Amino acid sequence: SFHKSKGQHILKNPLLVDTIVQKSGIKSTDVVLEIGPGTGNLTKKLLEAGKKVIAVEIDPRMVLELQRRFQGTPYSNRLTVIQGDVLKTELPYFDICVANIPYQISSPLTFKLLAHQPAFRCAIIMFQREFAMRLVAQPGDKLYCRLTVNTQLHARIFHLLKVGRNNFRPPPKVDSSVVRIEPRKPRIDVNQKEWDGFLRICFNRKNKTLGAIFRQKNVISLLEKNYKTVQALKLSHEDPPKETETKLDLSNLDDFTDDEGMDMDGATDDEMEVEDGEAGEVQSEFKGKVLGVLKEADFEEKRSSKLSLQEFLYLLSLFNKAGIHFC
């Protein structure tokens, strides 16, 4: 009997298993990481193709079945089974990861793999179709989202294969896709917390203009809080303190009047933030600074749903240069 909660859907189509292994491009010298080997249908082919397979499986019954299956075969000394939750397991060195995973761990597992050092060559992973399409989406695609940009920061991702639900026993409720994830080498150098905070704000309403998003009161006050913290830190390191940032500049306030009334992206009124209820001069000045960065590089009218990874990186660098931080 299979555990639904553990996402146990066994690949029953041997041709499909062959295709996945072929497309993986495993070399005879490779250490292969498999996640969720289950009864071992994929494991067997991985053992045939690679030098060594390390399989992480959470279900002790499956671990037993797997060990029984390969006991006394030439494969047994090239297979290591680790019993445990892959999300809580410290991963060993591997060259390539091939896995038909339980879909509920898709997101955390992807980020765990992408954080792994040293970077592996590639990971060939079966995901729920929609998750896979989010990973490979391009700017302007319907499924382009924070997950897309966040994963594409660390890796190049390719769609390899569509897999119908009837290739599994029992069949899951959704169709699947196999994707290939290649970690970028070298890594793109960015402060992970800054990046994460930045993307959360940008994708808060992915179809709104960045101008509208960065006018929101809660966004401005968060960024201003960060700004003051950073300025205070800087000042405490300077001796004597330079000019303090209390200069008043109301000259260009007109440029920043709200245009949300004209927003054409279908956002309903209750999503709109009420602005400037108790805004003092300092907040207005800071808001001008933030919007100035957007204007400077012509981002004000753009929307996150259409921005490339390079554009996000560029915009973040502009904000940081202006002393505006997201963590």
Residue of this chain nearest to ligand SAM (CB atom): 36
Query: Residue 122: beta bridge partners?
Result: 96
Residue among 83 and 308 whose Cβ is closer to ligand SAM: 83
Tokens 């992973």 belong to 125
Which are the contacts of 92, defined by CB distance < 8 A and separation ≥ 6? 31, 33, 54
Q: CB neighbours of 305 closer than 8 A, spacing ≥ 6? A: 139, 140, 144, 206, 207
Shortest distance in whole angstroms from residue 257 CB to ligand SAM: 51
Nearer to ligand SAM, 99 or 135 (CB): 99
CB of 109 to ligand SAM, least distance (A): 8
Please give the Cα distance from 308 to 138 (Å, whole number).
8
Q: Which is nearer to ligand SAM, 8 or 150 (CB)?
A: 8
Question: Binding marks (x or -) toward ligand SAM, 48..87, rule CB under 6 A?
Answer: --------xxxx--x----------------------xxx
Q: What tokens does 10 get?
A: 């066994």
3-state class (DSSP) for residue 308? coil
Closest CA to 223 of 213, 237, 238, 235: 213
* Helix residue ranges, H only, the chain: 14-24, 41-49, 60-70, 106-115, 129-136, 146-154, 192-202, 210-213, 217-237, 281-296, 309-321
Q: How far apart are CA 249 and CA 324, in angstroms?
A: 18
Residue type, 240: P
Should residue 105 be labelled a site residue for ligand SAM when binding is judged by CB under 6 A?
A: yes
Least distance in angstroms from the C-beta of 64 to ligand SAM: 12
Indicate the DSSP class of residue 297: T
Specify the residue, 38 or 197, whose C-beta has the smaller distance to ligand SAM: 38
Least distance between ligand SAM and beta carbon 224 (Å): 41
What CA–CA distance (Å, rounded) separates 267 from 158? 33
Q: Which of 102, 183, 197, 211 binds ligand SAM (CB under 6 A)?
A: 102
Beginning with the edge strand found earlier in the chain, give each strand of the sheet holding 52-57 in spatial order.
79-83, 52-57, 31-35, 96-100, 122-128, 176-183, 155-163
Does 183 sit behind a cis peptide bond, omega within 30 degrees of 0 on the bond before it?
no
Q: State yes or no: residue 167 binds ligand SAM (CB under 6 A).
A: no
Candidate ranges 1-9, 147-155, 248-256, 274-282; the one touching ligand SAM (CB under 6 A):
1-9
Q: What is the end-to-end Cα distance of the chain in Å, rounded?
A: 47
How many residues in the shown chain lie near ligand SAM by CB under 6 A? 24
31 vs 105, which CB is nearer to ligand SAM? 105
Q: How far is the CB of 26 from ligand SAM (least distance, A)?
A: 15
Nearer to ligand SAM, 57 or 285 (CB): 57
Identity of residue 100: N
Site for ligand SAM in 10-49 (CB under 6 A): 10-11, 35-38, 41-42
CB of 169 to ligand SAM, least distance (A): 8
Interacting stretch for ligand SAM, rule CB under 6 A, among 9-17, 66-74, 131-139, 177-185? Answer: 9-17
- Nearer residue to ligand SAM within complex by CB, 21 or 201: 21
Q: Which is nearer to ligand SAM, 63 or 212 (CB)?
A: 63
Which residues would be at the binding site for ligand SAM (CB under 6 A)?
Answer: 6-11, 35-38, 41-42, 56-59, 62, 85-87, 100-102, 105
